[in-house]
Structure 1
């Protein structure tokens, strides 16, 4: 077989406007190429349709209340359609669209959940100005070429907006259950679902990597290409397999090498599968419309499985993919280190309580087995494994959630794993964790995220046993920096804190101010840390200060510094903006230490937090004792020497000393600078 060449014929669809398709919503415009209805908010000081301009979240709430979402845009043709029906009777020239990076742990996403397979950023965008710009607008420039390009913008600004929805009475088509293919995988490939993957341990440029994969299919009736990823479940499996592997891998997505004007900025899979899912890293994709951009997948503790667009000429490891083939026999069964009925992953063994159970019953069932407890999920790799395991056990299509060992029943607001592992990773769902919502945490099958739920809910349970030891965090023996304006950092435990309660900044400006000091807005992880902060705030006249907690679009509350959300301290009836209609997406701390949600544009004082500096471990044991004794002897010797010098010079008192000195002509003892008590004390 020879190398693959793409021959794509560009078909420019005729724009068909048939507003009857959107009836009785006569203000909506129908576009036949997408089969969707579009609404343009034109309300301004001179009238128009829809509400007055709104913030990004306010606009999205309006769209959702009317059966749609903020518009997603997936092609040059769709952009052209939007520009062709652009209302001319409005003063709005910047319009909210659904693109955002409000999920702090990921990249840009469309709010309607569709894949980000096309980009049309204006020159120099996205620039995330001062870290504020997490939402996106489509720009319509009067008097210039109407490109409909995108700009990242502050979410709280007031803008017009574009909604998009299915025609009335036409729900989106259901995702069909995949048909299992017969056959097995080639040698060196690992199976998942109908696909087979090979994580190739050599570095190549993207085109060379694709040619290598394609060559592996010479002995098969199935093509082999760089891997494509169809959904979050396949993504989860690939992420789980990256554990203990190198940092970056090429996958099979890229922009076309020789695109037509209408194909610029569009991402494609090399195996010709549809782009139904994307998982961009924070701030990605940001390379613009460039035919030399290919997509790689990251593998590290905080970004495992997330994507980045990069020059195709870089050399990276890569992942090949093919489909199962009947020509390959069933591989021999390998010994299971966890025993029959269990699944091994990393240092752990897992098995499923496949009878719907309460949280307590699931935990009891797990603990019947020696060394097992309800599962703790400690990394993005393990979360990916859990997601894949749910598919393999038919939990996704049966809509069956799964209990974990995370709970705050013992200490409300303070989440702990029942197996005593530290909480170093969380994957909360929308609006989570919520105060007094049940106390037991499960994984939902539709999105794989975590939800605090009533413990009497019926769900499967996942049991886990592991020989791994909890990670040890060594005590830091460092110090805190000083600031030029005299406000010193204050040390507590392993961190340093800077209190600026008298400042008056928005949440975004406060975060920028902290970053300028190599810090972030404070994250809080225990009652003890809260008490320390309150003790410092009690010395000020400020009532509230910003903390680094922020509500994401779909992943619940997240700390700006990326740490786990295992502790909450909400005040009474907080958070108050549960339905997201009030734009209260940032969090402040009161003098009591309690939290409340508030609009991010409010002005507050703030608290920064950073690691200690000049961190070093003190000497241990006998060495430490020897050094301490040596230092003590040296200090005693120095003080003894100073005493004898002083005694020799000043024996008989100060006056006697002056009496013994020969006095020069015109010289008086009063001209001598006599040491005061402070000088002698310092000596």
Structure 2
């Protein structure tokens, strides 16, 4: 017997490795150079003999899941093990300047992204010493479940911080086991795909990504292993102190009792269950009186950080840390046509489960599960509700658009591009797989495009005409399936419209049906992304007259990793995929005119700080000079609505 399967696998090409019994991944034993097959070798074998030079029995290798290997089963005579827990105290409070959540106190010592803050960065040991100096119970942050992860993500957003700080998790040299800095074993893990991946002979420390990346390379709060000498920001934690009163979240906008503040809005979760319509009435009747110039309704989710905050509520003290099965969102899902938020906000962000959104003949509405993912449900179902109170509400039709006039597609593209509303659209007859077609859209033209996204019936009809010009049958569109987020558009815009053919989406006999084609009736079928070759349709947003700004004069808009649709629809800002500052404020405008849809989204700041550079000690001088050279705003992102 040469090797055996072990229960470690990635469920998709970009997914993290996970144990099949749902235990956290805290130990690894890779052969040197492994894992080395990102995107293709998604299962793991354990060597049972010295197969390679220098090999030892028991080392791991990633391998194709279709390989034929012996296996060993693990049997649980008394039932599958419960996930391990690391519980925080039930009662107590936190000192001023800390943040309290579900029995834990957190503090982010460096609250800024400028040159001065760059001089305060620390290596792992110094960061842990700083946390211990703040309290006898203090340590680098030990994330114990998805709700604590979500809470920290939302607070990094609130504080306008975009960084990869040290967490309180590390592995000693020559040791494959990761553990918390207080020596307890891990009870939760959230590794980025193909991580941890540093050599085991090195000491390895864990950092976590708290900024979104439009490339999709990180999800909020994902972990990677790093050396421990690089100087970085850090997060400290300790249990709530029994001698201190409960510390409420900062509440500059004075949210009423029973509601939690986030950015400019207020949020509450009901104790009772309601159907969708009664849930809307509950929010209005219970909280509407506090928001006379705005509104109180079922929650709309405008961007990923707001989604994280709502997810954290499900596992916080408002629910006694017992997350409900689901909660209603204010999402209307008609039987056909465009989805919409009940409070009228733009629909620019979605976070669907892998098999969602489903079609419902009688229509449906959206719910959130404890994972933060969304599912559709009949409006008559009864769940707890999340209410969102907004002190002011912006009518989109009355907002002045500082971007000026839309430019013709021919100004920036060749004449084969067609204009449709705010889009430039191009159909190509060359037959490619979905993956090849998407790569062609992104690389073949002077401005990167994507396979077309479709957001209403009128646009679906327009795309159909282009498909029929290039094909006698079908053509690729930009819808593809992510392993945990369900179907999503290649340009990262929200999935808010569906036109599936009868019986679709469906399974296929060979491969995985993870990409969408449009048929000659204008309906969609899901197909394997790489087995069939079809014509395709590319699209990109049109340019605006007041968005023609020199690179050095651009002032950033939005937040780190903001998508094109959120940048342009929610912020009414300019977007250029070729620019180092992709989302930026138009000419003759300022950040106050682009505060988003009253969601507290960050505006302004320095582009070099959106990803925040963390360097080993010789690089500090470079960092300070770089930060000091920023003329627009050397204090990092600014957002008056959050101060």
Q: TM-score, normalised by structure 1?
A: 0.65
**Are the equivalent residues in 2 in contact too, given 1:530–1:593 (CA < 8 A)?**
yes
Q: Identify the match of residue 189 of structure 1 among 84, 98, 108.
A: 98
Relative distance call for 1:215 and 1:610 in structure 2 (3 A) is: farther
**For residue 527 of structure 1, what is the aligned residue in structure 2?**
457
Deviations 1:115-171 (A, max 9, x none): 34345376375464xxx6383454869963567544476x7x666585855435523
- 2:239 is equivalent to residue 323 of structure 1: yes
- 2:510 is equivalent to residue 590 of structure 1: no
Q: Quote how far apart the aligned CAs of 1:85 are.
A: 7.4
- 2:388 is equivalent to residue 460 of structure 1: no
Distance 1:482 1:165 in 2: 60
Larger Rg: 1
Distance 1:114 1:574 in 2: 34
Q: Quote how far apart the aligned CAs of 1:572 are.
A: 0.5
- 2:28 is equivalent to residue 100 of structure 1: no
- 2:171 is equivalent to residue 246 of structure 1: no
Deviations 1:260-289 (A, max 9, x none): 3xx24x433222232232233466544454
Q: Quote how far apart the aligned CAs of 1:395 are.
A: 7.3
Q: Quote how far apart the aligned CAs of 1:112 are.
A: 5.0
- 2:123 is equivalent to residue 205 of structure 1: yes
Deviations 1:424-446 (A, max 9, x none): 22121230111117643344544
Q: Quote how far apart the aligned CAs of 1:522 are.
A: 3.1
Relative distance call for 1:254 and 1:229 in structure 2 (3 A) is: closer
Q: Quote how far apart the aligned CAs of 1:184 are.
A: 2.2
**For residue 394 of structure 1, what is the aligned residue in structure 2?**
319
Distance 1:191 1:168 in 2: 40
Structure 1, unaligned runs of 5 or more = 1-83, 88-94, 620-683
Distance 2:195 2:406 in 1: 34
Matches within 5 A, 1:155-170: 166-167=75-76, 170=79
Relative distance call for 1:341 and 1:614 in structure 2 (3 A) is: closer
**For residue 552 of structure 1, what is the aligned residue in structure 2?**
482
Distance 2:20 2:440 in 1: 29
Relative distance call for 1:321 and 1:176 in structure 2 (3 A) is: closer
**For residue 566 of structure 2, what is the aligned residue in structure 1?**
none
Moved more, 342-351 or 396-405: 396-405
Distance 2:535 2:44 in 1: 29
**For residue 52 of structure 2, what is the aligned residue in structure 1?**
144
Q: Quote how far apart the aligned CAs of 1:402 are.
A: 1.1
Matches within 5 A, 1:636-647: none
Relative distance call for 1:463 and 1:182 in structure 2 (3 A) is: closer
**Are the equivalent residues in 1 in contact too, given 2:314–2:322 (CA < 8 A)?**
no
Q: Quote how far apart the aligned CAs of 1:459 are.
A: 0.7
Distance 1:608 1:313 in 2: 48
Relative distance call for 1:414 and 1:232 in structure 2 (3 A) is: same
**Are the equivalent residues in 1 in contact too, given 2:409–2:417 (CA < 8 A)?**
no
- 2:349 is equivalent to residue 425 of structure 1: yes
SS of the aligned residue for 2:319 comes to: coil
Q: How many residues align?
A: 510
**For residue 186 of structure 2, what is the aligned residue in structure 1?**
275
- 2:603 is equivalent to residue 603 of structure 1: no
**For residue 256 of structure 2, what is the aligned residue in structure 1?**
339
**Are the equivalent residues in 2 in contact too, given 1:427–1:555 (CA < 8 A)?**
yes
Q: Quote how far apart the aligned CAs of 1:109 are.
A: 4.6
Q: Quote how far apart the aligned CAs of 1:227 are.
A: 0.2
Q: Quote how far apart the aligned CAs of 1:573 are.
A: 1.1
Distance 1:121 1:482 in 2: 50
Deviations 1:20-43 (A, max 9, x none): xxxxxxxxxxxxxxxxxxxxxxxx
Moved more, 193-202 or 224-233: 193-202
SS of the aligned residue for 1:571 comes to: coil
Distance 2:305 2:314 in 1: 15
Structure 2, unaligned runs of 5 or more = 111-119, 214-218, 290-294, 549-643
**For residue 378 of structure 1, what is the aligned residue in structure 2?**
302
Moved more, 533-542 or 510-519: 510-519
Backbone CA RMSD of aligned residues: 3.8
- 2:26 is equivalent to residue 117 of structure 1: yes
Q: Quote how far apart the aligned CAs of 1:567 are.
A: 1.8
**For residue 27 of structure 1, what is the aligned residue in structure 2?**
none
**For residue 143 of structure 2, what is the aligned residue in structure 1?**
229
Q: Quote how far apart the aligned CAs of 1:353 are.
A: 3.3
Q: Quote how far apart the aligned CAs of 1:403 are.
A: 0.7
Q: Identify the match of residue 510 of structure 1 among 437, 445, 449.
A: 437
Relative distance call for 1:516 and 1:582 in structure 2 (3 A) is: closer
Select the structure with the greater relative contact order (CA < 8 A; seq sep ≥ 6).
Answer: 2
Q: TM-score, normalised by structure 2?
A: 0.69
**Are the equivalent residues in 1 in contact too, given 2:13–2:40 (CA < 8 A)?**
no
